[in-house]
Each structure stands twice: as structure tokens, then as C-alpha cells.
Structure 1
Amino acid sequence: MIALSENQFKTLTENATTLESDGLGAKVLKLKDGSFLKLFRKRSLFSSETFKPYAIRFAENAEKLRALAFISPNIIRIYSLSGPINATAVHYQPLPGSTLRSELSNSSAERNKQLIKQFGALLAKMHESGVYFRSAHLGNILVQPDGNFGLIDLADMKISRFKLTLNKRRRNLKHISRYKEDSHWLFELFLEEFKAGYSQHAEESVKKLFSNQN
């Protein structure tokens, strides 16, 4: 992790575009060279951020995902910012494409069936690979120009050496179902396609996992 002074931060983010923000300020910046800078502000003295900064988690997860043959952003650097900003930051090359949520909103029913089936296969592959992605909603899945799916917003993720238990898989589906629009596509309109995609990598888990979704 590289320490970045306030002046260095201002130089790095000169002419940057704010893509996301909250009450504390910018969260994601698009820099003038097209790369992204994602900030994780420290909200309290004693938190999980203190023991393992989210910027490091993001970067480590990106590397682990690529090792497991998933598509994730390429990390450039990790920064520590002191002073008034008091945050860690990850600098990375963004993935091309649009979110799966956006694609589903602007595609035909037939294409949506294909996309949902593909997402089901991706989710099952993650579960079988030990990836517990709490933020695996459809806004964090990118449909790339070549049709493959990429993963973004990686800090809230745990990756183990063992495939996920049925309980963790159910919890992951519950997280996804909290988003009304996503839930409508996945568990109402295209549930059968979702299940068919999931069964490509985890056929034995489908019946138990989706038993409460019918």
C-alpha cells in the first residue's frame, strides 16, 4: 500500500469525473486516463477496515478471482490516504461493458432468458469455487462486449478453498432477492432459466436451493 499525501491525491484526481458519491464525498472517480479510483473512507476508529482495509480486500479478491478463471478488474495500485480524506483507495482498470441489470432492461424476452441462464451458471460456478459474493446483485455483473460476464465491487466477498454449503448458497440468494427488480427477473419471470443455468455447474444443489422460490 502506497501512502498518498493530500497534494498527491489532488494531482492524481485532477480533472476526474465523480461516478459515485455519498454524504462523505466521492466514492468512485474516473481519472483522466480512463482508469478508476475507488475510495473506502474510514468511518470509525475500531472497525474491520482497521484490521484489513477494504482496498486491500478488493485487490486481493480481484487476483483470486482471476486465478479461478473469473473476469475481474486489473489492479494498478493500492493507496492509503491520511488527513481530511482518511481513506484507503484502490486504483484499477475498469472492465468494459454494461451492467446485467441495464442489459435486462433494454433487451428482448428471448435475450433476457439467455442472460438469466448465463447468470445462473456464473453464480453456480462461484458457489462451487468457494466464492461468497454478498454483493452479487445484477448491478455488479458486467456484460462485456464479447458476451462474457465480469465481476465488479469486490470488497464484500469471501473466497475459500471449499465450495459453499447449501446454507451459504441460500443466504446468497436471499441477498440478491432484496433488490425488487432483480428478484422479479430471477425468481418470477425467468426462474426456470435461472435454475437451468445454475444446474450446469451444481445440478445436485438446484432442487434444495430453489425449493422456496417456487
Structure 2
Amino acid sequence: MQALDHAHYLALAEGAEVLEADHSGNKVLRLTDGSMLKLFRRKRLVSSAAWYPYARRFADNCVILAERDIPCPKVLSVFRIAKIQRDAVHYAPLEGQTLRQIMRAPDSGDGLRAELGRFIAELHEKGIYFRSAHLGNVILTPRRTLGLIDIADMKTFRGPLRKSLRLRNFKHMLRYSEDRKWLLGQNNQAFFNGYLAAQSLCTAKELTQAMS
């Protein structure tokens, strides 16, 4: 993690577009060159973030995903900005649109739902447990492949995920009503069947119970 003094931070962020902010300040900036700067508030209380900052986790997760052939952002630098008590990751974004952005488009029908099911199965088979899984964090790239963004909240394992983690991950994906309606509305089975076809550990009955 590289120290970034306040003057250089201001120069880096000059003219940037604020994409996300909260009461404590800016969270995501699009810089003038098109790259992104994601800011994480430094934790003062005792927590895992004190010894393993979220900016570092984000960067490490990008490396792991790339090694496992999952499209994701490309990290350029990881900073500690003492003046504003923030850590930051500077990265080139993954091109494309989130599934939440395109769910109402003409090409967002059952084919895309099934593709997402297969993609989630691929993640599970490759030992990736993405706790923040939702349609706003999955990107459809210009090459029509799926990838992940906003990946600080992710755990990886050397082997495929065990069944309990897979079923829990489905509950995470369905916690937003808009996502759930697009995935499963009117008893749509495309997402469900896409996942089942790409793995053999979870049964249809178990998935149905997890998604109920």
C-alpha cells in the first residue's frame, strides 16, 4: 500500500465525477482519464479491516479473479491517504453495463438469465463466494461475457464451494425485490435451470428451498 499525500490526492481527484458518496464524504470517483478511485474509510475500532484494509482486499480479490479467468477491474495502485483517513484503490473499470442497468432491455430475456445461472455456478465451482452478489455488481461486457465489480466483500477457497455456502449465496442474490422479480418473476426457471445445468452438487429441491 502506497502513501499518498493530500496534495497529490487533490491533484489526482481534480475534475473527477463523483459516482457515489455518503454523509462521510466521497466513496467512488471517476477520474478525468476514465479510471476509478474507490475510497474506503479507515476503521478506528478493532476489526479485521484494521489489519487487512478493504482497499487491499479489493486489490487482492482482483488478482485472484483474474487468475481464475473471471473478468474484473484491473488495479493500478492501492493508496493510504492519511490526511483524510482513507484508503483507496485506483483501477481501470471493467467495461460494460450492470445487469440491473439492462434488465429491461430487449436482450435481457431468458438467455441472459440462464447465462447468469451458469456464471454463478462457475464462481462456485472456482471457489468464489461473493457475499455482495446482486445484479448491480455483475457486468455484461461488450464481449457478452459476465464479470464482477465492487469485490471487496468476497471470500475465495482453493476448491469448489461447499453446498451450504452456495445456498446462502442464492439468498444474497435474491434480497433485492427488483432483482428477484427479474430473475424469478412469473415462476421463470431460466436462471434456476442455468445454474443446475452447470453444477451437480445442489439439487433442484435444495435450490427451490433456498430461493423461497
Task: Please tell me whether the aligned partners of residues 76 and 91 of structure 1 are also in contact (alpha carbons under 8 angstroms).
Answer: yes
> TM-score, with normalisation over the residues of structure 1?
0.93
Pairs within 5 Å for 1:1-214: 1-83=1-83, 85-107=84-106, 111-189=108-186, 191-212=188-209, 213=211
Q: Distance in 1 between matches of 2:201 and 2:58?
A: 31
Amino acid at match of 2:112: L
Task: Please tell me whether the aligned partners of residues 116 and 190 of structure 1 are also in contact (alpha carbons under 8 angstroms).
Answer: no
Q: Residues 168-209 of structure 1, C-alpha deviation per residue, up to 9 Å, x if partnerless?
A: 111111111110111112233464111221123213414243
Amino acid at match of 2:165: K
Task: Please tell me whether the aligned partners of residues 163 and 201 of structure 2 are also in contact (alpha carbons under 8 angstroms).
Answer: no
Please give the secondary structure, in 2, of the residue aligned with 1:147: coil
Task: Please tell me whether the aligned partners of residues 99 and 136 of structure 2 are also in contact (alpha carbons under 8 angstroms).
Answer: yes
Higher mean C-alpha deviation, range 201-210 or range 172-181: 201-210
Amino acid at match of 2:75: I
Amino acid at match of 1:78: V
Structure 1 residue 125, shift from structure 2 partner: 0.6
Task: Please tell me whether the aligned partners of residues 62 and 74 of structure 1 are also in contact (alpha carbons under 8 angstroms).
Answer: yes
Amino acid at match of 2:148: L
Q: Distance in 1 between matches of 2:67 and 2:205?
A: 29
Q: Superposition RMSD on alpha carbons, in Å?
A: 1.5
Question: CA 1:70–1:173 in structure 2 vs 1: closer, same or farther (change >3 Å)?
Answer: same
Task: Please tell me whether the aligned partners of residues 98 and 144 of structure 1 are also in contact (alpha carbons under 8 angstroms).
Answer: yes
Q: Distance in 2 between matches of 1:98 and 1:43?
A: 31
Q: Distance in 2 between matches of 1:27 and 1:192?
A: 37
Q: Distance in 1 between matches of 2:88 and 2:31?
A: 13
Q: Which runs of 5+ in 1 are unaligned?
A: none
Q: Distance in 1 between matches of 2:205 and 2:72?
A: 30
Please give the secondary structure, in 1, of the residue aligned with 2:198: helix
Higher mean C-alpha deviation, range 185-194 or range 39-48: 185-194
Task: Please tell me whether the aligned partners of residues 196 and 204 of structure 2 are also in contact (alpha carbons under 8 angstroms).
Answer: no
Structure 1 residue 102, shift from structure 2 partner: 1.3
> TM-score, with normalisation over the residues of structure 2?
0.94
Q: Distance in 2 between matches of 1:209 and 1:173?
A: 11
Please give the secondary structure, in 2, of the residue aligned with 1:194: helix
